[in-house]
């Protein structure tokens, strides 16, 4: 995105206090969900709905790749014992580890539901949809985080992830549906 585009997004989001003064990189719960939602509203204002969605998904993937995977429970995914598990088990355990990170280190309560052909990642309170009203789901960064988590847990496979319910559209929670079969994998 670059420095100038980031500053423009921060200005559009009403978060210009963060220009040249980003929040601290720590685990304290000092970054308000309303500010996270405003950031993604600013992203959509800067790049349009489709462009903002694409940027948010890339931000989600980068957030996982550069930060979330460093948490203790996530580091175990790289362990040879974990990698020896079946793909189904790695995907399920990877999602459960991600839910655990969010539940234990943020105000975002997350759970995983296992069905026959899909997995459902439930987010009780999503920072991306906080205080928002929309016609379509808005938690695109979470889609990116889940996609990158699954790619990492599966050792490179891609999975279809869709937000099927969103608080911004009036649902009680945000729900992400994940196909158990990887894209291109034969069943």
Predicted pLDDT of residue 44: 92
Please choose, from the candidates 18, 13, 12, 46, the residue with its C-alpha nearest in 3D space to the C-alpha of residue 31: 18
**DSSP code of 24?**
P
With vertex at residue 154, the alpha carbon angle to CA 148 and CA 155, rounded to the nearest 5 degrees, is 90
Positive or negative torsion for Cα 125, 127, 128, 130: positive
Predicted pLDDT of residue 63: 87
Token pair belonging to 98 = 């991600």
Which of 40-54, 64-78, 103-117 is predicted least confidently?
64-78
Alpha carbon dihedral 98, 34, 130, 20, in 10-degree steps, equals -50
**CATH topology assigned to domain 3-179:** H-NOX domain (3.90.1520)
Q: What is the pLDDT of residues 3-54, one digit of tens each?
A: 888 889 988 988 988 888 887 777 777 778 889 899 999 999 999 999 999 9
Segments making up each domain of the chain, as ranges: 3-179
Mean of the per-residue pLDDT values for the chain?
88
Q: What is the pLDDT of residues 132-164, one digit of tens each?
A: 999 999 999 999 999 999 998 888 899 999 999
Token pair belonging to 137 = 């789901």
């Amino acid at each position: 995105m670059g420095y100038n585009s980031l500053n423009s997004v921060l200005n559009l989001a009403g978060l210009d206090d963060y220009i040249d003064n980003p929040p601290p990189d720590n685990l304290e719960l000092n970054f308000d969900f309303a500010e996270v939602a405003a950031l993604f509203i600013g992203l959509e204002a800067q790049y349009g709905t489709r462009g903002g969605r694409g940027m948010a998904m890339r931000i989600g993937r980068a957030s996982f790749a550069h930060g979330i995977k460093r948490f203790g429970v996530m580091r175990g995914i790289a362990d040879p014992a974990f990698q020896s598990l079946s793909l189904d088990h790695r995907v399920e355990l990877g999602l459960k580890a991600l839910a655990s990170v969010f539940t234990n280190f943020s105000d975002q309560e997350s759970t995983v539901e296992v069905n026959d052909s899909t997995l459902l990642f439930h987010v009780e309170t999503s920072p991306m949809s906080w205080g928002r009203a929309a016609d379509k789901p808005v938690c695109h960064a979470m889609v990116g985080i889940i996609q990158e988590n699954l790619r990492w847990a599966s050792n490179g496979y891609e999975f279809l992830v869709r937000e099927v319910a969103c608080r911004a559209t009036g649902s009680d929670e945000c729900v992400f549906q994940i196909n158990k079969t990887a894209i291109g994998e034969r069943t």
